[in-house]
């Protein structure tokens, strides 16, 4: 029986050519599996199906994974305020594990013994695909045709033409783009020079601030146990809420990132992102935590957040360490319930107010007004013992030694 592989199918040039190439070169049956994590536009599904069939797929699946992606992947990341290197909300990194979950399920449905992907050999996504696959289904082989085929973009276009795969692609591809509900990643072209400022053209989710509404406005995001549940008082499902926040914030031209980041494989790459929804939600979530997390918990959580972001970036979403860190993070979210007001203006998005039914901000303790409930006399003893260890050090080893 011919071996069967489920390929993560984007509908683009590379994976379309890969469908046929794998059949030709490796004599395998290819199931094309497109997982929608928010990147598909309405109507795109049919075109994808047709193209996969034309490329020779024995089966095509288009799976709407948006709700699941938002609930089971984006929300844990939001709870951890996950930003790789303090900046990148892990747009691509978060989508790979959910895609692999569907590839594996599809492989089981179709009796496949392998899964495949179109990642190159120097990026992070191969790591995420393969590690997730080996964890979820150690028995499945992982095939990576594009990593070994040695084809240039021009070669691919020629093959597509020869094989009658209906796809329009220019030989000069300017940018490499990956997109989903959490944002959009832009690489290559002029961006490969980290001194060059990013041009205006590749951005689609964020308007140029110069074209933003001149009127500033506020929005209020409501959270329950760390999860955003409402916008300006209107209860919304996650997919809808993320979408609307992204549109609003993006319309004010906020949410772009320009950075050089460290890939897992050991190289630095210049990346440009636009992530209005994810950055705004993390900003609001973190701000709400400011009044709902106890100090020591908040301090330790900062360290955990860094580790969570590294793990997601490094392809270890499905690892047991992620499970344990997730347990920590979940435990912190119980009372992250309340509202945050975001002020929007051209090129800006800022938290301007926050409130919570179980806020730990205590006006009577904090106020400098006369009627405060803080026992000032406690401070003297506190400060002396807080510094006693360092004071003793000073007397024996430091500046105060005799």
Active site residues: 14, 96, 125, 176
Q: Which is nearer to a second copy, 137 or 231 (CB)?
A: 137
Sole binder of a second copy in the list 109, 111, 166, 176 (CB under 8 A):
176
Binding of a second copy by 302 (CB under 8 A): yes
Residue 71 binds a second copy (CB under 8 A): no
- The window from 3-11, 162-170, 235-243, 313-321 that contacts a second copy (CB under 8 A) reads 313-321
Comparing CB distances to a second copy, the nearer of 56 and 315 is 315
| 185 contributes a contact to a second copy by CB under 8 A | no
Smallest Cα–Cα separation from 181: which of 100, 254, 98, 261? 98
Q: Between residue 84 and residue 113, which ones bind a second copy under the rule CB under 8 A?
A: 85-86
Which of 231, 242, 287, 312 is close enough to bind a second copy by CB under 8 A? 287
Q: How many Å from the N-terminal Cα to the C-terminal Cα in the chain?
A: 86
Cα separation of 117 and 97, whole Å?
Answer: 12
Name which of residues 221 to 280 contact a second copy (CB under 8 A).
Answer: 256, 258-262, 264-270
Minimum distance between the CB of residue 157 and a second copy, rounded to whole angstroms? 14
Binding a second copy by CB under 8 A: which of 59, 141, 158, 187? Answer: 187
Please select the residue that binds a second copy; options are 45, 59, 64, 350, rule is CB under 8 A: 350
Q: Which is nearer to a second copy, 45 or 350 (CB)?
A: 350
- Interface residue with a second copy, options 57, 221, 275, 291 (CB under 8 A): 291
> Does residue 171 interact with a second copy by CB under 8 A?
no
Smallest distance, a second copy to C-beta of residue 169, A: 15
Minimum distance from CB of 228 to a second copy (Å)? 18
Is there binding between residue 12 and a second copy (CB under 8 A)?
A: no
From candidates 14, 39, 286, 312, binder to a second copy by CB under 8 A:
286
Q: Which stretch binds a second copy (CB under 8 A): 18-26, 40-48, 60-68, 387-395?
A: 387-395
Q: Does 135 bind a second copy (CB under 8 A)?
A: yes
170 near a second copy, rule: CB under 8 A: no
Residue 201 interacts with a second copy (CB under 8 A)? no
Our CB check for a second copy shows the closer of 43 and 150 to be 150
């Amino acid at each position: 029986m011919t071996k069967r592989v489920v390929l993560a199918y984007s509908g683009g040039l590379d994976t379309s050519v890969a469908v046929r190439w794998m059949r030709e070169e490796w004599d395998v049956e290819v199931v094309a599996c497109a997982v929608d994590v928010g990147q598909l536009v309405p109507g795109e599904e049919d075109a994808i199906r047709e193209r996969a069939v034309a490329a020779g797929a024995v089966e095509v699946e288009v799976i709407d994974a948006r709700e699941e992606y938002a609930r089971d992947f984006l929300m844990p990341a939001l709870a951890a305020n996950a930003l790789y290197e303090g900046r990148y909300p892990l747009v691509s990194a978060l989508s790979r594990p959910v895609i692999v979950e569907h590839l594996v399920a599809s492989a089981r449905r179709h009796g496949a013994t392998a899964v495949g992907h179109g990642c190159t050999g120097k990026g992070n996504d191969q790591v995420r695909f393969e590690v997730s696959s080996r964890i979820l289904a150690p028995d499945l082989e992982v095939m990576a045709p594009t990593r070994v085929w040695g084809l240039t973009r021009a070669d691919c276009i020629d093959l597509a033409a020869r094989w009658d795969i209906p796809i329009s692609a220019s030989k000069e591809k300017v940018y490499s783009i990956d997109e989903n509900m959490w944002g959009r990643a832009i690489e290559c072209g002029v961006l490969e020079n980290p001194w060059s400022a990013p041009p205006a053209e590749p951005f689609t989710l964020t308007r140029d601030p110069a074209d933003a509404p001149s009127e500033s406005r506020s929005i209020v995001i409501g959270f329950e146990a760390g999860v955003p549940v409402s916008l300006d008082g209107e209860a919304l499902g996650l997919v809808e809420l993320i979408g609307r926040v992204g549109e609003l914030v993006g319309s004010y031209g906020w949410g772009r990132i320009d950075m050089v980041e460290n890939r897992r494989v050991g190289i630095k790459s210049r990346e440009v992102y636009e992530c209005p929804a994810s950055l705004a939600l993390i900003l609001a979530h973190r701000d709400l935590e400011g009044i709902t997390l106890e100090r020591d918990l908040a301090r330790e959580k900062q360290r955990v957040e860094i580790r969570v972001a590294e793990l997601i970036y490094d392809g270890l979403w499905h690892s047991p360490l992620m499970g344990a860190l997730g347990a920590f993070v979940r435990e912190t979210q119980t009372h992250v319930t309340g509202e945050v007001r975001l002020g929007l203006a051209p090129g800006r998005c800022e938290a301007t107010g926050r409130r919570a039914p179980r806020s730990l901000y205590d006006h009577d303790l904090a106020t400098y007004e006369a009627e405060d409930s803080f026992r000032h006399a406690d401070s003297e003893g506190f400060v002396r013992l807080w510094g006693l260890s360092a004071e003793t050090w000073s007397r024996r080893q430091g500046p105060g030694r005799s």
